[in-house]
Amino acid sequence: MSKLALVTGATSGIGKAFAERLAADGYDLIIVGRNKDCLEEFAAEHAGVKVRTVAADLSTDIGVDTVAEICANESLTMLVNNAGVAHYMPLADLPADKARELVHVKVVAPTMLTRAAVAGMQERGEGKIINVAGMIAFSGPADKSVMPRRAVYAGSLAHLVAMSQTLSAELEDTGVQVQALCPGVVATEFHTRQGLDMSVVPRMSAEDVVTAGLRGLELGEVVCAPGVEDAGLLDAVFQADLAAFGGQSPELASRYRAN
């Protein structure tokens, strides 16, 4: 049986790198993006595998529903939720349409596509879901000097991490793997589109991010951080999360009681 992967945001950056790698590994592909011409160009360049192109805008309900229907009806071996937008700016300055677009692309779309794909994967007893997030998901405690102008973006990536971790636990022993892939700064067109000059900032290649994600699946990592050498740092974060979760009580904490 042939392997079939669906990749969103497949026309550039990490999404295109995933599509390239999976095609080289013998996967048939369903590639999703806004630019029909770029999708068809990719398909023409990869005649050795079956490539289905789907031009869809995941910032819209109709775009999400179109791709979700494909996820529900095709026997996907892998789903890569990669599509993204940034819109870096203070929340008070973020136009409503851009806020809605960001949440739709990075929260609604991966949630609904995963929901559509996961039942079939469970029935078949195999499948892999990669949700491309980023290290900004862990930046919430940073002060303004370190992490300005991206509250909604950081929150959307944190959603992907928490959803992936919780879903992974739900799917234990089903044969379905879930991963939140959290690169740092990557050398793609992503920041250029936001008007940001990142030319002097050290950046990882999209190809290395893909290598880490696929190897992370082999290692059983639910959260894959390609640029973090000491994996114990992530373990410490997650253990602290569980300690706080387990430390709750029905009694009001003493610091909130009147003196």
Measured between alpha carbons, how far is 144 from 142 in angstroms, rounded to an integer?
A: 7
As to burial, measured by CB atoms within 10 angstroms (0-12 exposed, 13-18 middle, 19+ buried), residue 75 is middle
Nearest Cα to Cα of residue 128 among 199, 58, 216, 45: 216
In 3-state terms, what secondary structure has residue 221?
coil
In 3-state terms, what secondary structure has residue 170?
helix
Sign for the CA dihedral angle at 242, 235, 17, 4 comes to: negative
Active site residues: 153
